[in-house]
Structure 1
């Protein structure tokens, strides 16, 4: 049995490494267009005195004798530069020089100083100045684009550019954030002057493209945007739209402004805010716009796109990363240092009947209800919501992580209470032994287990850095990403790790010590049920939010759009946690190892993918 277990662990370990290697090679080939584009992971001190991180993509042939148009891209709030990969892959293969930045406060750029939120916008213009300094860039053809807060940064960059001795920005493409419509006096204005400007206004945007009366009451939903005075004024180059002819989406309007022909256009697809950077339609519209404005160096049809292949390879890396966590942990059990944690053979699980089954299903239902209701209450709390956006450094430098960590810890406590009540009322009377089911493994095994988990987590992230170094890629799918990170993130992770430990340790104890039994004679059925149970509340909240949104045109009152968006990665992480902890617990009868691994991984991933404030 020992030899069989070791062979299986080694097989899965080797497979995980192969999968991550294939992921990195494949993603690298796609994003470099088979070697036709050079990609550089940059970090430099900008004119603002801050360190900025960015990816620079330079197509073959770009030189001082063959200057190319350049595009600076910016991600949204709580994200990083790789979130623009669909755009930078396609722009670079068409011959543009592309700079995709980590805005200040995000990922590997310097933290955002509290009270200086507008500095996030200067990050965009610092990127523009950097790309304009490159000898192979045509400084008369520089465009900027951003998603969500990246579009806000693009808006804020315009007056900075207006004040420059030589303005650099020729065109602007805003994705999922409003353009500027009025001046300080509330009068309609052509904020962008003679620049070309395009806007993607999603019909189901959770945050933008609404109009309001003077009292702040919402008048129109995002799907009605194109008919609003704001949209019409924008398409009329800042003129008061009263009495003007109605203009439409998916139409390019031109006007001579300050001696040059300028463009205005709006597209409004039926999609949501977070889908923008992951949408073929968005990429097609962006490519089409910049072709009109700057001219595409390499003529490739806008609809001919390969970035989806990169996403597929990146997602494969996520799978390999997850397999590695289990395979490396179980492989270490066959070393001398950790052999004492390994049990001779997994316990034979019996089916559960009668009152025991009632306690099981009752516990799942109560946990799901508490999970959903508590998240709703936290989301609706104004004070908590404010902190979630701004943080409270230095104790709480990442408000977005804090709100999820708080919710996780609350549900961990509830899980411990339900488990304790189940044991006291039912389990103890029926001979349940806490040592036998792994809840009390002894201090030595507990400490050994945490050490093993720490080695597994450190090794897993070391691999992420190694693959990033050689291939300039990471492992991700849409809003779920495992990137590299700067050293300061480890200190920040220690702030939030205790919250996640409460949840993932409690969850692992409940799943592996108290809820492990056979369903229809198979343990995998039990694992599947528990994996679904972990995620059922977030799934139902997401379904409720977007069903309401698509039917009514607006969000559920009191349930903010960002709160439902934050649930997307959680819907994946929680079922994975059930599987990972079950796989490790089966060979150790120790629920703390898998619980610690999941808590540490989720904490590091969370603090690496969000906004950081500092004093």
Structure 2
């Protein structure tokens, strides 16, 4: 009964969250959103979401904005900006960069897709081609600057969010180029050195690069207008107090972009920049994401009561885990080894000279895979050393280590995990069909996979499966929390214990990096990109901890939780990463 209620509650949360997100995305149903595909340079298929406000028709064309996300994000990441632009009467094309989302690879190709996005936007009869703005976050800013360079007469204004001119192929900024340049560069932006040659976000005002783009040889004054909108030489710097990825969740940053476009484009409805509803989109998608996880847990438990899976329900094996001080050593190693190896193992493919290939086509995914496999090997070695040096004498068996049942149990556990995974995927597909939403919060995105991404998913899945099988062995066989008499603790306590072991180290890593950054210093270890990626490990490993504890307690083995975690995490990573190999 409890599992059925969990299942129903999860479904209701998915419905509620999707409705909230849809309502914000469409401004109460007044804005139409289309999932569009078009051909770009060299036959590259491009993907985008097209936001159409009610005032935009062929008879009354409206101003338009090309909104482009940053590296290892997708078109939905720009939803906060797209929603607020569209509410003010602008047609918005939220583009998937090349190699991202559903746009064809390779990543970085064709000016990141920026020129193709601008060219497509200008073909729409609902667009006033004399009033087009470009808005891009991070690498999307470079795509916007490249688009401005390729089509210098086809846009009127540009807003760079956490981005710059003159970086990674984007043309250098001058007092005249790009036209009507607005810059949002946050005080805690992790990429200040890359973007503007400044060790800190607040220091960009003193850099020669920004001053050249603003046509001055003095420190740039935040909030001051430079140049002239009429002449196309206007420049203005905004500095909200947030981080680089925080630009997506910051009302000030989004309001700054809205303000700049309202000043430099004609035809908007004049809605105040502070009037914002995008937050409901983020909250709604988060609710739907939580609902999906809960529904998957409930669905899995219900399947275990069916005739085919009922023999997977086994007693919880007696704990033959670490005890005393050794257990605390095990806890500390579990918490800190993953973060000690975090940068090294993820950078190892580059250090070994590996480049994107047909088998390992996503650079960031390959780095995470190296981290996962490396930590799996370390954990397995430590587990075997512990077993053979101190635990074999306790007569521990494979059942005590949650490995019992034989081939039949392993196979059925895989089928069970696959069924739960398919159910969660079905919920996402259904929400996308009905509400045009995915499940996400901020940069943690649960997206449908394209056909190519599904192939890539299958290629990476065995490596992540190895990691999660070893992780299950360590959690259940070595570190499982028990009462003083050796009996099992409550399920909720076990979930919290596993989640703590998996995510606490990443909280420490982020604290070590961000406390200095937020007090005026650069990131101590550098590694801006991988530091931002680390944020995603916390919610994703929280879900893993829940899967691992729940299905161990329901089946007495590690297999279902490990297989499901591997499928889920590989799905999320592959669908959300850039594909660098040109298939």
Q: With the length of structure 1 as denominator, give the TM-score of the two structures.
A: 0.88
Contact 2:100 2:579 survives alignment (8 Å): yes
> Relative to structure 1, is the Cα distance of residues 419 and 40 closer, same or farther in structure 2, using a 3 angstrom cutoff?
same
User: What is the CA distance between 1:350 and its match in structure 2?
Assistant: 7.9
2-structure distance, mates of 1:265, 1:386: 42
C-alpha RMSD of matched pairs (Å): 2.6
- Specify the alignment match of 1:433 in structure 2: 397
For the pair 1:319 / 2:290, whether they are aligned, the reply is: yes
For residue 288 of structure 1, report the CA deviation from its aligned partner: 0.2
Following superposition of structure 1 onto structure 2, how do residues 360-399 of structure 1 map, counting pairs within 5 Å? 360-378=327-345, 383-384=350-351, 391-399=355-363
Work out the CA distance in 1 between the residues paired with 2:151 and 2:476: 59
Q: Residue in 2 aligned with 1:196? A: 180
Contact 1:519 1:525 in 2 (8 A): no
Tell me the residue number matched to 2:106.
112
Residues 417 and 564 in structure 2, CA contact (< 8 A), matched pair in contact too: yes
Q: Are the structure 2 counterparts of residues 228 and 493 from structure 1 closer, same or farther at C-alpha, using a change threshold of 3 Å? A: same
The Cα shift of 1:570 comes to 0.4
Residue aligning to 2:201 = 222
CA drift at 1:250: 0.9
Q: Does 1:297 align with 2:265?
A: no
* 2:442 paired with 1:478: yes
Map Cα deviations across residues 89-140 of structure 1 (whole Å, 9 max, x no partner): 1111111111101011101110117xxx34143x122111222111121110
Aligned counterpart, 1:409: 373
Q: Which shifted more, 471-480 or 427-436? A: 427-436
State the distance in 2 between where 1:135 and 1:382 align: 47
Report which stretch shifted further, 520-529 or 316-325. Answer: 520-529
Q: Secondary structure at the match of 2:553?
A: helix
- CA distance in 1 between partners of 2:41 and 2:455 (Å): 28
Does residue 551 of structure 1 match 2:519?
yes
Partner of 2:18: 24
Counterpart in the other structure of 2:53: 59
Distance across 2 between alignment mates of 1:284 and 1:397: 37
Q: Distance in 2 between matches of 1:125 and 1:363?
A: 53
2:224 corresponds to: 251
Q: Residues of 2 paired with 1:220 and 1:25: CA distance?
A: 43
Question: Equivalent residue of 1:112, what SS?
Answer: coil
Look up the match of 1:33: 27
TM-fit CA distance, 1:386: 7.3
Say which SS state the counterpart of residue 480 (structure 2) adopts.
coil
Aligned partner of 2:252 among 264, 281, 306: 281
Q: 1:335-350, aligned counterparts within 5 Å?
A: 335-343=306-314
Alignment check: 8 A CA contact 1:378 1:384 kept: no
Aligned match of 1:132 in 122, 135, 138?
122
Partner of 1:159: 149
Note if contact 1:180-1:191 (Cα within 8 Å) is conserved in structure 2. no
| Alignment of 1:569 onto 2:533 | no
- Give 1:333 deviation, angstroms: 0.7
In structure 2, how many angstroms separate the alpha carbons of the residues matched to 1:211 and 1:276? Answer: 15
CA pair 399-210 structure 1, distance change in 2 beyond 3 A: closer
Judge conservation of contact 1:508–1:578 (CA < 8 Å) in 2.
no
1:577 Cα deviation (Å)?
Answer: 1.2
**1:351–1:519 contact (8 Å) kept in structure 2:** no
Is 1:358 the counterpart of 2:318 in the alignment?
no
Aligned residues: 578
The answer on whether the counterparts of 2:38 and 2:46 sit within 8 Å (CA) in structure 1 is yes
State yes or no: 1:102 paired with 2:93.
no
Cα pair 2:158 2:182 within 8 Å, conserved = yes
SS for the counterpart of 1:254 is: coil
CA contact (8 A) 1:342 1:587 kept: yes
CA distance in 1, matches of 2:277, 2:195: 37
Unaligned runs of 5+ in 2: none
1:423 aligns with 2:402: no
Q: CA separation of 1:159/1:555 partners in 2, compared to 1, >3 Å: closer, same or farther? A: same
TM-superposed CA distance for 1:452, in Å, is 0.9
| Cα distance between partner residues in 2 of 1:261 and 1:157 | 16
